[in-house]
Amino acid sequence: MPTLKENPSLANYQQYVAELEQERDFKDQTVLDKCLLLGEEVGELFKAVRKKEGLNIDPNSDTTLISHELVDIFIFLCAIANRYDINLDDAFLNKEEINKNRSWVK
């Protein structure tokens, strides 16, 4: 079972996800597979938020914690980044440099 070091970086999470995928035999899933699974998890997040916000949901529908759905989404994001050899630490910093120069108006 893979382990994470204390105070992990995004790169550490990506390595952890890569090891989990190897261990759980998910390594051969394609980017398309991962994107479709990510979409399902986003839907589950929306359902959990709806429940938390007191909106109507099917009472027979399974819902989980928002935090669990966010983690599932994060795992799929790491898996997709890994398949394209994207370092999320670097990508995040690069994109934020771009965002700093954007105009954010109401």
Taking only the tens place, the pLDDT of each residue in 83-104 is 999 999 999 999 999 999 998 8
Residue with tokens 């795992």: 75
Give domain status of residue 19, yes or no: yes
- How many Cα atoms are found within 13 Å in the side-chain-facing hemisphere of 25? 0
Per-residue model confidence (pLDDT) at position 62: 81
Give domain status of residue 6, yes or no: no
Task: Name the band, by pLDDT with cuts 50, 70 and 90, for residue 64.
Answer: confident
Based on the structure, what is the number of domains in the chain?
Answer: 1
pTM over 0.85: yes
Give domain status of residue 106, yes or no: no
Structural domain range at position 41? 12-100
Give domain status of residue 5, yes or no: no
Candidates 93, 94, 49, 90; CA nearest to 68 is 49
Give domain status of residue 105, yes or no: no
Q: Which amino acid is at 79?
A: A
pLDDT in tens, 21-51: 999 999 999 999 999 999 999 999 999 999 9
CATH number at residue 53: 1.10.287.1080
pLDDT in tens, 44-58: 999 999 999 999 888
Per-residue model confidence (pLDDT) at position 25: 96
